[in-house]
A and B are shown apart, each in its own frame.
Chain A
């Protein structure tokens, strides 16, 4: 009986590992990420040029695809517009999960911050700049809660979110236009 249980558990672990390895490899070179696994370079879609659009249209966009150039990989991510600028978050930054999952955020803060965002099929060349100004973060946090928190979220959830930003568990990046020196 124990042997059968061990063998069944072994098959389940094998299926999980096979899934992770297969889907990770399958998506690594794809044009964009899947729901869970990072993708490759964003190559399809019109490349936006000229002045930035009115980013308020992202209020109706749940996730965007964000690619950083070094290392080249893309992922799905939340997006918030605040005060005419557009921002992306990265959570779990102080957890073990964050250290292995959110390597792109650490790379962006270290200076490898050039990338491309694809929003509703249009690509925008951007650079990620980490935001620490409390006034800006408050505006972004308000929008994030308004957009992504479940309706009727309890006050402790809201407070927990504010705390996660204040304690650097959640980082906020502005997706700024690339500077001419980039």
Chain B
């Protein structure tokens, strides 16, 4: 993928991801749960 197309794809993914987090509470909770699980395994 060219870097220009890559940048546009990244921008689109970021927008969709952010909208999903804001508009779908269950999705946001799922992502937070995954982050919490990762952090708790790294805490020690």
Contacts and interface: CB of A to CB of B under 8 A. Distances in A.
Report if A and B associate in a common complex: yes
Interface of A: 7, 10-11, 14-15, 18-19, 22-23, 26, 34-37
B1 A19 contact: no
A36 B21 CA distance: 14
Contacts of A18: 14, 17-18, 21
**Which A-B residue pairs are the 10 nearest by beta carbons?**
A22-B18, A22-B21, A18-B14, A35-B32, A36-B32, A18-B17, A14-B10, A18-B18, A7-B6, A35-B36
B10 A11 contact: yes
Contact of A19 (B6, B10, B31): B31
A7 B1 contact: yes
A18 B17 CA distance: 7
Nearest to B35: A36
Interface string B22-37: 1000001101110110
A15 B17 CA distance: 7
A10 B32 CA distance: 20
Interface of B: 1, 6, 9-10, 13-14, 17-18, 21-22, 28-29, 31-33, 35-36, 39
Contacts of A10: 6, 10
28 contacts: A7-B6, A10-B10, A11-B9, A11-B13, A14-B10, A14-B13, A15-B13, A15-B14, A18-B17, A18-B18, A18-B21, A19-B17, A19-B31, A19-B35, A22-B18, A22-B21, A22-B22, A23-B21, A23-B31, A23-B32, A26-B22, A26-B28, A35-B29, A35-B32, A35-B36, A36-B32, A36-B35, A36-B36
